Amino acid sequence: MKKNIRNVTIFLLLIYLTFYFIFKGQNFQEILNLIGRVDVKYIILAVVFVSFFVICDGFNIRKMLRNLNEKTTIWKCIKYSLIGFFFSAITPAASGGQPMQIYYMRKENIKIENSTLTFLINLSCMQVVTISLALFNMIFNYKYMKIPMVLLFIIGIFLNLSALTFLLISIFSRRVTKGITNFLVKLMKLFRFKNIEERKEKLEIGLEKYQKNAKEIRNRKTAVLKNLARTYIQYLSLFSVTYCVYRALGFSEYNMFNLVAIQSVLYGTVSGIPLPGSVGASESVYLALFEHIYKEKNMLETAMVVDRFINFYLLVFISLIVVIINDIYVKVKYKTSEEINKVENVEMTED
């Protein structure tokens, strides 16, 4: 809990500093006036695209879990998606999303080895989509990027490629996953955990099941390819928010392909940067990449605020509500279960 509070505090501080430096010296009232004049139908369409992005993610989670013989519902998987989004947003390099998703899945009786493998595959698909779209669309947008931006793009793609390589090794290499297990055992010894041998045995059993399931997934290449195809649709939907914002502000010179292409380059550049939610990096790169699109005074900053609010901050707010409601539900459920067990124990004692 304390760690989460610290992460949220850092996240909010980054947001404050980002917008302070961006809007320093700007006519903020005029920007608010411009926001107030947006075409609502395009904003609604942008929200639909974001919703579709989340639904696709939930659907991918559900399909992979079902391939591993785990029964769950689409609504629960959408919940897992939003939980992951929130914790990814408030932790550096999105490191907290998947562990928290696995944690909450475990509370709903989904095996750790199955949830871990599901998220490794989904993350791998996400990295393939992010990298391929960014590299492909860089061909059409390199002329708008100054040398510092090109260097940042190279760093971002390198970080994403490194993450993808690690994910693929984790799925396909038994030796590496065995090495990770040994490393975890050494850490437990270093921090003097109790029952280390028992914990090691559980880890090895989990690893055996994980590798068995990984082999099963490798034999279902069609399922993985379908997952990859859905992930392309998912992220193209998210990137389409940028076009909706562009039209909402009354512009029509550029088509959807132009705007989605630039947004995919932006995402590929900043997604690997180890900042919570890429806050600061996303806003700054947006201003650099879209300055040739929005040439009117204050329009660039207005577009950035509206775009970033819909495709990120709105989702953070909604996912926070989902996390709070889910935490309350889990606590009530466990408390009720404990009370039922106490009553049953008392009845058994009396008998």
Domain positions in the chain are: 2-350
Helical axes 74-89 vs 40-67, angle rounded to 10°: 110
Residue 346 reports pLDDT greater than 50 = no
Separation of alpha carbons 158 and 150, rounded Å: 12
Residue 344 reports pLDDT greater than 50 = no
Q: What is the pLDDT of residue 148?
A: 80
**Average pLDDT value for residue range 199-203:** 72
Percent of the chain beyond pLDDT 70?
85
Residue 142 is given by DSSP the state G
Q: Per-residue DSSP letters for 215-255?
A: HHHHT-HHHHHHHHHHHHHHHHHHHHHHHHHHHHTT--SS-
- Reported as a pLDDT band with limits 50, 70 and 90, residue 184 is low
Separation of alpha carbons 157 and 11, rounded Å: 23
Q: What is the pLDDT of residue 69?
A: 86
Residue 191 reports pLDDT greater than 70 = no
Q: What is the pLDDT of residue 209?
A: 67
Choice between 289 and 31, residue whose per-residue pLDDT is larger: 289
Asked whether 80 and 54 are in contact (CB, 8 A), the reply is: no
Residue 174 reports pLDDT greater than 80 = no
CB-based burial, 142-174: b 16+ in 10 Å, e otherwise: eeebeeebeebbeebbebbeebbeebeebbeee
Residue 337 reports pLDDT greater than 70 = no
Q: What is the pLDDT of residue 179?
A: 73
Q: What is the pLDDT of residue 47?
A: 95
Q: What is the pLDDT of residue 340?
A: 46
**Average pLDDT value for residue range 259-282:** 87
* Residues whose CB falls within 8 Å of the CB of residue 22, separated by 6 or more in sequence, listed in order: 283, 284, 287, 301, 304
Q: pLDDT of 145-156, one tens digit each? A: 777 888 888 888
Q: What is the pLDDT of residue 303?
A: 92
Q: pLDDT of 202-247, one tens digit each? A: 767 766 766 676 776 777 788 889 999 999 999 999 999 999 999 9
Choice between 203 and 90, residue whose per-residue pLDDT is larger: 90
Q: Which of 20-24, 75-79, 271-275 has the lowest mean pLDDT?
A: 20-24
**Average pLDDT value for residue range 64-74:** 89
Q: What is the pLDDT of residue 316?
A: 92
Separation of alpha carbons 162 and 27, rounded Å: 41
Smallest CA-to-CA distance from 93 within 127, 129, 50 is with: 127
Q: What is the pLDDT of residue 77?
A: 94
Choice between 152 and 25, residue whose per-residue pLDDT is larger: 152
Q: What is the pLDDT of residue 297?
A: 76
Q: What is the pLDDT of residue 246?
A: 95
Percent of the chain beyond pLDDT 90?
34
- Reported as a pLDDT band with limits 50, 70 and 90, residue 3 is low
**Amino acid identity, position 42:** Y
Q: What is the pLDDT of residue 280?
A: 81
Mean pLDDT of the chain: 83
Q: What is the pLDDT of residue 7?
A: 76
Q: What is the pLDDT of residue 126?
A: 92
Residue 6 reports pLDDT greater than 80 = no
